[in-house]
Amino acid sequence: MKAVYLDYNATTPVDPDVLEAMLPYLRGDYGNPSSSYALGQRARIAIETARAHVASLIGAEPDEIIFTSGGTEASNIALRSGARHDQTRHAVVTTNIEHPATDACCTLLAQDDYDIRRVDAEADGLVDPQQFASIVDSHTALVSVIHAQNEIGTIQPIAEIAAVAHGQGALMHADAAQSVGKVVVDVNAMDVDLLSIAGHKLYAPKGIGVLYVRRGIDVPSVLVGAGQEHGRRPGTENVAFIVALGEACRLARAKLSATTLHMTQMRDRLLAQLHADIPDLLLAGHPTQRLPNTLNVLFPDVSGRLLLEACPQVFASTGSACHADREDPSAILLALGLAPEQALGAVRLSVGRLTTLSDIDAAAAHLTAAWQQVRQTAPARLTSVP
């Protein structure tokens, strides 16, 4: 039986049109875009066309788009360069529910004596802009917040947080890896200075991403080389993957309204069916201010990991960390105040453009059957580390 893929937040398949767009640059058009002859210039034109497509999707200007190897690199450059843009400021403000690309980078900055301040999310996964107002001050160089949390899908009020940051003269960075292509992301409406994108979250290949840097923002480069990408990401450009991301962004913009509606319908149908069969099922994160494709559901009295092991017909993920003799619940869910035994039951289900009604119906039935099986055969909860 064909498995149902419900892990689009982990990665997406490459769109067939995206693959077709990139293939010529893996075959005949292999030129170096820095070369002056025709083969190289065709590559340069392809890169600039892709840059324009990315810019159009997020309301930016083409010269504000910097291509990177992915969302992690984009966020690392944003944080490490944003923190250094003003040598008189040594504080970075973020949240306690960030992606590791941000959280680990903040830990690295702390080793360089930066003051890392974290705002705690509320129980519904939202952060309160007023909490930033009490923490962001004249010592703050950068504020960095994930736009849509990757595990629970909650969408943060970035524009309100940006107003607080700019009021104190700090830069604002948003990690938009999970939100671009699913909801409207407009860098001007959000009023961000820096923004990260991961290509493989919107039907482009893995290994390509974008850092948006607002025009006029002078952030130092953390990499050195021949000066490509305005010196902020030097190195010979990955032409084929850049073209792929450009095409993915062009398609995302053209299909955004239909995609958002489709994913919302699939998500809501899945949640309704699971609730009907498992009344005590809980939804983590804000019930409405969330991505249209994401559910983080807490199955009662079972481990989410064991449930998925018993349900090979559904490809999904948990936020738990598994060890030889124990299972640790998701740190994100614990940060929301959930009890460890509740958090251990978490399963993230994320739909995509290719998800069908029959996929949803099959997945709901398989997950319910697996829950019933695991609850009967393994009623004892796993030991977790507090």
Return the axis-axis angle of helices 239-277 and 38-58, rounded to nearest 10°: 30
Please check whether residues 181 and 194 belong to one and the same domain: yes
Q: How far apart are the first and last CA of the chain?
A: 39
pTM of the complete model = 0.94
Which pLDDT value is given to residue 326? 64
Q: Kindly give, in sequence order, each residue whose CB lies less than 8 Å from that of residue 72, ignoring residues fewer than 6 positions away.
A: 101, 198, 209
Residue among 110, 65, 91, 60 nearest 168 (CA)? 91
Whichever domain contains 136, its CATH number is: 3.40.640.10
Do the domain assignments include residue 383? no
Query: Catalytic one among 105, 106, 249, 322?
Result: 322
Domain hosting 322: range is 4-9+256-377
One domain, residues 246 and 260: no
Q: What is the full DSSP assignment across 161-180?
A: HHHHHHHTT-EEEEE-TTTB
Residue 249 falls in the annotated catalytic set? no
The last residue of a domain, from among 211, 226, 252: 252
Place of tokens 């290994």: 207
Mean pLDDT by 10 residues, the chain (386 residues): 93 98 95 94 97 98 97 96 95 97 96 97 97 97 98 98 98 98 98 98 98 92 85 90 98 98 98 96 97 98 95 90 68 96 96 98 98 82 44
Q: Specify whether 145 is located in the same domain as 54.
A: yes
Query: Is there a single domain that holds both residue 244 and residue 273?
Result: no
Residue finishing a domain among 197, 227, 252: 252
Establish if 178 belongs to a structural domain. yes
Residue 362 in 3-state DSSP?
helix
Are both 265 and 288 inside the same structural domain?
yes
For residue 19, give the 3-state DSSP assignment. Answer: helix
For residue 341, give both structure tokens: 């035994």
With beta carbons less than 8 A apart as the criterion, state whether 145 and 174 touch: yes
- Rounded CA gap, 170 and 209, in Å? 24
- The owner of tokens 């003799």 is 325
Pairing of strands 282-283, 294-298: antiparallel
What is the rounded CA–CA span in Å between residue 192 and residue 173? 6
* Residues 237 and 101 occupy one common structural domain: yes
